[in-house]
Amino acid sequence: MKMTDGDLQKLLQIGLQSLTIQTTLLENQIAESSSEMRTLERDEELEKLERQLLAIQQDYRHYSDFVDTEAAEQFKGYYYEEN
């Protein structure tokens, strides 16, 4: 079985949506950690979270380069309803 270009575009959209969700979760965790922990613990935790966030953002930019914007339009609202 071969993957079609449409399959690849759909897979890219799924991956990018997942990366967006992960980014939001990490940003929320960073905000929460900033207000809850003591200084040394907070700094270490924030540094770890920021490294994770940077890696996710780099992956997002990398995989975004492969998205065919015309093909991507057909998958809008595929798994959820657009508002």
Per-domain residue ranges for the chain?
7-67
Q: What pLDDT does residue 80 have?
A: 66
Question: Residue 13 CB: number of other CB atoms within 10 A?
Answer: 19
Q: For the chain, which residues score pLDDT lower than 50?
A: none
Q: What pLDDT does residue 72 have?
A: 72
Q: What pLDDT does residue 82 have?
A: 61
Distances (CA, A) of 72 to 9, 46, 59, 64: 6, 34, 18, 11
Tell me the whole-structure pTM to 2 decimals: 0.77
